[in-house]
Chain A
Amino acid sequence: MRIVMLSISHRTASVDLRERIAIAGERLAAAIDGLRSGKPLAEAVVLSTCNRTELYIARPAQDASPHDELCQFLARFSNVSMKDIASVAVIREQEEAIAHLFRVATGLESMVLGEPQILGQVKQAYEKSQQMKAAGPVLHRVFQQAISVAKQVRHESGIGEGRVSIGSVAVDFASQIFERFDDKVMVAVGAGEMAKITLKHLQALKPAKLWLTNRTRQRAEDLAARMPSVSCGVRGFDELDNLLVEADIVLTSTGAQQPIITEARFKPLIRRRRSRPIFIVDIAVPRDVEPAVGNLSNVYLYNIDDLQRVVLKTHETRSAQVDQCELMVREAARSCIAAVQHRDVGHLIRALRERLHAYAKAERERTLKRLAGTPIDDLPEAFAAAMDEHDHRLVNKILHLPLSQLDPKDANGSLAFAAEALRQLFGLDEKAADADPLPAGEGVADDEGDAPAPDAPRADKSPLGREV
């Protein structure tokens, strides 16, 4: 089988084009059907995420090269010009295609190196094809291997370790301070874009209550409306002191030019808080919280630089692991394609055996039919002649097709390749050929089995010009 992959990703295509060729929802099934239409043996998986659209197909090796066909299909399916697709598409075959899939599943091809979501998306794509019975034995093996390799590489290299966003780092710090969050109060001061992004992570902790406060109350209310998963309320900005007393986690992101939480303001609140620990994330620039607040007892203050430092460290650590991951992926792809090819060869040998046995059976029946009317006295001579003819016809039948493929006019080297293959497959060397040449005058039987009489020399010659 031939495995071919077409990929259009964030590395080659703009977000506009990626949006247009994205295949999601019900279109996914149509795409898989389209890739397999008219080709019952073909297998197909479509992986489509916000950063990439990739088509994986496996077809019998003798089929024509599907490169242009894939581009045309995607152009037609997405209603994008062929030229646009061809200019951004990356097409890989066999081991390269498998290695690419492994890299994708591991997160080596992701925009954020080593991010884990892609593995789930690869699984989903594979499962969708399985449901539609579009993933046959070849892609089944390849995708199963991809999932397993991705897990192994991530585990052994640690490329998925660490946090890559400010929000997730804040969640990590919060988890080091508090054991549970269902009894904690979270307060967000400010309702800007950064607050929205960071709160998206923090609300995953499911605090008992999330209070939002902003100088413009309406903006806080708008943000609260977008937080359906937690118990969320809006308080006036003048209640900030009370909120600081109630809060366990505080996120500040206002556009104030001066700190709004100063040491002088917070210190008296500690007694009212009964020295409960407080985790303050200050992602505003200029800062909303005076650094001296972080020195107070049971106050854990982190600003944007503290969080950013952790994110950068994660990126550095992950980048250092890329070479190791590449090696592991390469090795895994090599063994995977070997396994696929081994399976193909197994099928080939089985088919060859079946065909040869069919030849033998047909010839045997023909020979027996010829012998059936022979008088008993003539039987020994007739039997010998019939067996000679039987052997001759059988050998000719077996060799007819392979030898007819040896075209002496072939200029691209396939003749030499085929000759070498024959030499290796049948253990023929030059000396053996000289010592035991094929008898002259033996022709090749036609496919119908109407072999010439043994005594009638055939004028047929092999394409090599040599009588066989």
Chain B
Amino acid sequence: MTDTLTTISLIVLTVLSLAAWFVALRRARRVAAGGDAAPGANLQSFLVGLCIALGGGVFVYRAFAVHQRWQPLEAHVDGLLLIGVLLAITVTYLVKRGRMKGLSLFALPFLALTFAWAVCASWWTFREFNQSELHSVWMTVHLTSVYGGMLFFLMAAIAGGMYLYVQRTLHRRHDPAATRPFASLEAIETLIVRTSALGFALLSLGLVTGLVIVTGGPTRLGPGWWYSPKVVLAGASWLVYAVVMNVRHTTHFRGARAAWLSIAGLVLLLATFGIATALPAIPASQGKIPNSKPQITNKSQKKNANQSKATASPQQGPLFGSIGLIGACLEVGIWNLELTCPEVPCGS
């Protein structure tokens, strides 16, 4: 259910992430001008730390006070919150390791975007997962692996962006002091490969568990499920990462190309979700929506389903259209792998 406290907290988290990013930007500019990077470092760490503490607190609060269940991932907003907190922790860890300080410059905008997306998912496009008929263990594994995979792919894409920036600076033959706060190209490439590997493993697990869930009952995607847009595009995303993982050592997929590929993989994941949510899951063999109504088991779900349908209506005017578009853009990526979601477009 929508929760005002959650939404307010997410807005605060977005603002904190943006503030931390501005501090990181100022530090980077100071370094580029030949100054010292130290001033502002503590403030930046404090703001990111605050994001972790507050985000973690909200996550626990939602699990125990809102959902009152052992399984914390009840809605998309929970997943986004989890990704945001884990992203902040990962960035903090990598920055503290040294020579990765510049990573925060690239990662913090994505942290702010994730929390902003969570605000959308919490307030305008809120919908609980339809998991009443599913085995909770499969569902938990599926959701955890999909969100975890998304986190690592996000990290890989951020590292890819950083790689391209450092490479561009080096090609321009600027003073190497300007890129000293960033890691070496070799280190960044290692980060891309490792995060892609972890993301790929988790995405594979998510796909396998998704297949188990989708084939687990007659009310799922139907007999033509395997060429449903969601399945096909999710498979395509998996394939891209398989390429990133396995052809890196061939002649043409090293360095900048690997960085571009990691970014393209994330973009494809987001685009896949956008397409999958814009189109209903129509099995090509039938040309119609199989069992298109979601299983509504209680009042809350009924209310949410109605809300989702209402949000999707084109008669809602430009405001909702814009929000829906932003929501669709933001909510791309995770839901394409969310094979168990009902065929109603989720709020967009």
CA of A310 to CA of B174, assembled, Å: 7
Tell whether, in the assembled complex, residue A179 and residue B177 are in contact, meaning their CB atoms are under 8 Å apart.
Answer: no
Contact B175 A176 (CB under 8 A): no
Find out whether the CB atom of B254 lies under 8 angstroms from the CB atom of A172: no
Measured between beta carbons, the chain A residues less than 8 angstroms from B135 are none
Residue picked from A270, A298, A314, most chain B C-beta under 10 Å:
A298
Q: Does A449 contact B (CB under 8 A)?
A: no
Contacts of A176 in B (CB 8 A): 166, 170, 176, 179-180, 182, 184-185
Interface membership of chain B positions 319-344, coded 1 if the CB is closer than 8 angstroms to chain A and 0 otherwise:
00000000000000000000000000
CB–CB B254/A169 < 8 A: no
The 8 A CB mask of A171-203 against B (1 = contact, 0 = none) is 011011111100000000000000000000000
User: A178 and B251: CB pair below 8 A?
Assistant: no
Residue in B closest to A316 when the chains form the complex, CB atoms: B34
Any B CB within 8 A of the CB of A431: no
The reply on B171 being an interface residue by CB < 8 A is yes
Complex contacts, A309 vs chain B, CB 8 Å: 173
B252 at the interface (CB under 8 A from A): yes
Is residue A158 contacting chain B, with contact meaning CB distance below 8 A? yes
> Of the candidates A172, A180, A298, A317, which one forms a contact with B176 in the assembled complex, judged by CB atoms under 8 Å apart?
A172
Contact with A along B231-243 (1 / 0, CB 8 A): 0000000000000
In the bound assembly, the distance between CA atoms of A154 and B34 in angstroms comes to: 13
In the assembled complex, the Cα of A177 lies from the Cα of B254 at a distance in Å of 14
6 closest cross-chain pairs (CB), A and B: A172-B176, A179-B186, A275-B254, A179-B187, A306-B173, A298-B255
User: Contact between B177 and A177 (Cβ–Cβ < 8 Å)?
Assistant: no
Give the nearest-CB partner of B33 in chain A. Answer: A317
| Residue B249 at the chain A interface, CB threshold 8 Å | yes
For A275, give its contact among B176, B187, B255 (CB under 8 Å).
B255
Is B221 interfacial (CB 8 A cutoff)? no
Check B176–A169 contact: CB distance below 8 A. Answer: yes
Assuming A162-B175, A310-B175, is B256 touching A298 (CB within 8 A)? yes
Cβ distance A186 to chain B, nearest Cβ, rounded Å: 15
A178 with B184: CB separation less than 8 A = yes
Q: Does B255 lie within 8 Å of A297, measured CB to CB?
A: yes
Contact in complex: B254, A274 (CB < 8 Å): yes
For A321, the closest partner residue in chain B by CB is: B34
CB-defined contacts of A315 to chain B, threshold 8 Å: none
> In the bound complex, how far is the Cα of B36 from the Cα of A297, in angstroms?
33
Count residues of B near A (Cβ-Cβ below 8 Å): 28
Contacts of A179 in B (CB 8 A): 183-184, 186-187, 190
Determine if A302 and B34 form an interchain contact, defined as CB atoms under 8 angstroms apart. Answer: no
**Complex: A180 Cα to B190 Cα, angstroms:** 12
| A297 to B184 CA separation, bound complex (whole angstroms) | 17
Is B35 an interface residue when CB atoms closer than 8 A count as contact? Answer: yes
A-facing residues in B217-250 (Cβ within 8 Å) = 249-250
Residue on A with the closest CB to B99? A179
CB distance from B246 to the nearest CB of A (A): 14
Q: How far is the CA of A46 from the CA of B117 in the complex (A)?
A: 67
CB within 8 Å for A298 and B173 given contacts A175-B184, A179-B190, A277-B185: no
Docked pose: A163 CA to B34 CA in angstroms: 12
Q: Identify the closest chain B residue to A306 (Cβ).
A: B173
Contact partners of A175 in chain B: CB under 8 A: 176, 184
A172 contacts across to B, CB distance below 8 A: 176-177, 180
A298 to B252, CA, bound (A): 10
C-alpha gap A404/B184 in the complex (Å):
77
Q: A170's closest neighbor in chain B, by CB? A: B176
The interface residues of chain A lying within 8 Å CB-to-CB of B171 are 294, 300
Contact A302 B252, CB 8 Å, known A176-B185, A179-B183 = no
Given A158-B35, A173-B170, A298-B256, decide whether A277 and B186 contact each other with a Cβ distance below 8 A. yes
CB within 8 Å of B: which A286-327 residues = 294, 297-298, 300, 302, 306, 309-310, 313-314, 317
Looking across the interface, which residue of chain A has its beta carbon closest to that of B249?
Answer: A274
Which A residues are CB-close (under 8 A) to B177? 161-162, 172
Question: A219 at interface (Cβ–Cβ under 8 A)?
Answer: no
23 CB-based A-B contacts, threshold 8 Å: A162-B175, A173-B170, A176-B184, A178-B185, A179-B186, A179-B187, A179-B190, A271-B251, A274-B251, A275-B251, A275-B254, A275-B255, A277-B186, A277-B254, A277-B255, A297-B256, A298-B254, A300-B170, A300-B171, A306-B173, A310-B176, A313-B175, A317-B34
Minimum CB distance partner of B250 in chain A? A274
CB distance A302 to B251 under 8 Å? no
